[in-house]
Structure 1
Amino acid sequence: MENEIEQAKNMLDTISGKLKGYLDARDNILDNEYVQVLGDVSKVVGLLRNASTLIAQKRFEAFLKGFKPNDIPTETQLAKLRDYIDNEEKAQFISDTLSKILLSKSTKSCTILGMIMYEVIENKQNISLDYLVCIDALMNLFDKDIDNIKFLYEFFDTTKTGKFFASSKAYKEACKNRDIDTNSMELTLEKAVYHQVVRRTYEIDLDLDIDVENPSFSDGQAENDEYYSKSSPGKLLYSFIKKVT
């Protein structure tokens, strides 16, 4: 077991070197003028590291759970990761995904990031826009957002059209039955639309009595109602969410 862990560490060093080769990565933190102004650089860096150690460990453990469920990544699996990195685009994808582990606001997000990386590498896939959108969204989702998105996509499947109006009685009743706070859901919806994992469209409901000869004297009004529906990246994200919640 110890030998296997050492081999995995050596493989990680190889992967790190390969990423740097493609991206010409450099660590400039010690040269930052704001760090230098604070005085003792070692103390500043030490403070930053100590402040983030626990959260970073928790996030990385969640990522590994998705990348290799119930086990540590084996040398064979890491070798697949190393071999997958064969151009700049893939190097950027792997580096960007790994960096989002620390930037993520959710342990569930980190687990899904691990699952995405595993699936892409295992199937030797090119990086589609749907995956990139999912990864970007995951960095900004809280655990509660992920639970809410799961509820939304389950609710979509209960509707005849695959969409729902924000003001619909059925939607409000579904939230009530699942004990979901509508204020929380409203925040998640705004975030989900912004990050393209839910689509929002506006539909005009015409209720007019038009006077053809004198349109200005027509009665009635046009109501502009918004409705939500699935998006392609959202479907992909939901397929992963179902596995972690």
Structure 2
Amino acid sequence: MGNEIEKTKNTLDTISEKLKGYLDVRDNILDSEYVQVLGDVSKVVGLLRNASSLIAQKRFEAFLKGFKPDGIPTEEQLARLRDYINNEEKAQFISDTLSKILLSKSTKSCTILGIIMYEVIENKQNISHDYLVCIDALMNLFDKDIENIKFIYEFLDTTEFGRFYSLGRQFRNAYKSVNIDKSSMELTLEKAVNYQLLKRTYEIEVDLDIDDDSPSSSSGRAENEELYHKSNPGKLLFDFIKVVS
């Protein structure tokens, strides 16, 4: 057991060194003048560690749950992670994904980040644009957003053309029936569009009332309705959400 733990520690050290090598990271960040103006460096570091340690532990445990659902990552898995890092692009991808664990606002997001990293490494995948968009969005989603997105995509699967009107009665009644309030759904819809997890289009309906005898007296109205559709990053995220739900 002791030898296995030591091997795992050595592999983690190797991964860290490879990331630093590709990304040209220096070890003297605490010597920065920006840190020193705050006072005693040790006090600054202590404050940061105390403030973030509990939430960081919770986020990292959620990440490990996705990366290794049945326990802690094995030395063999960590070795595959180490070997996967063979250029700057992959080093940036791994570092960026790991950093988002601490920046994430959701434990579910961290679990999904673990699943994504496991899948990419196991299949030796190149990093697609859809994955990058999905990972970026995860850092900004709350657990409630993830629940709402799951509902939205499940609802889209029931529609005839894979879309719905934002003000449509059918959609509104559906989310209310599962106790999602209007404000929560509106916030998630806006966030999902901003982070490319949904596509929003507009449909303009024009209703004209033309007077044949006096065309200049004709009247009419135009209504602009919002439509929501699936996006490729959103479909990818939905597949991962189904795994953790």
TM-score exceeds 0.5: yes
In structure 2, C-alpha distance between the alignment counterparts of 1:160 and 1:236, rounded to whole Å: 21
Q: Percent identity?
A: 77
Query: CA 1:121–1:214 in 2, change beyond 3 Å: closer, same or farther?
Result: farther
In structure 2, C-alpha distance between the alignment counterparts of 1:56 and 1:185, rounded to whole Å: 28
TM-score, normalised by the number of residues in structure 2: 0.96
Alignment match, 1:43: 43
Q: Give the C-alpha shift of residue 158 in structure 1.
A: 1.1
Q: Give the C-alpha shift of residue 36 in structure 1.
A: 1.3
**What does 1:62-73 correspond to in 2, within 5 Å?**
62-73=62-73
Aligned residues: 245
Alignment match, 1:18: 18
Query: CA 1:209–1:20 in 2, change beyond 3 Å: closer, same or farther?
Result: same
In structure 1, C-alpha distance between the alignment counterparts of 2:188 and 2:82, rounded to whole Å: 36
In structure 1, C-alpha distance between the alignment counterparts of 2:27 and 2:240, rounded to whole Å: 33
In structure 1, C-alpha distance between the alignment counterparts of 2:212 and 2:31, rounded to whole Å: 74
Q: Does 1:142 align with 2:138?
A: no
TM-score, normalised by the number of residues in structure 1: 0.96
Alignment match, 2:184: 184
User: Do 1:148 and 1:188's aligned partners in 2 also have CA atoms closer than 8 Å?
Assistant: yes
Q: Give the C-alpha shift of residue 163 in structure 1.
A: 0.5
Q: Give the C-alpha shift of residue 29 in structure 1.
A: 3.3
SS of corresponding position for 1:153? helix
Query: CA 1:215–1:63 in 2, change beyond 3 Å: closer, same or farther?
Result: farther
Q: Give the C-alpha shift of residue 2 in structure 1.
A: 3.7
Q: Which runs of 5 or more structure 1 residues have no equivalent in the other structure?
A: none
Alignment match, 1:159: 159
Alignment match, 2:124: 124
Query: CA 1:220–1:71 in 2, change beyond 3 Å: closer, same or farther?
Result: same
Counterpart of 2:143 in structure 1: which amino acid? D
Query: CA 1:161–1:35 in 2, change beyond 3 Å: closer, same or farther?
Result: same
Deviations 1:49-106 (A, max 9, x none): 1111111111111101101112111111111111111111111100100010000010
Report runs of 4+ in structure 1 exceeding 6 Å deviation. Answer: none
Q: Which runs of 5 or more structure 2 residues have no equivalent in the other structure?
A: none
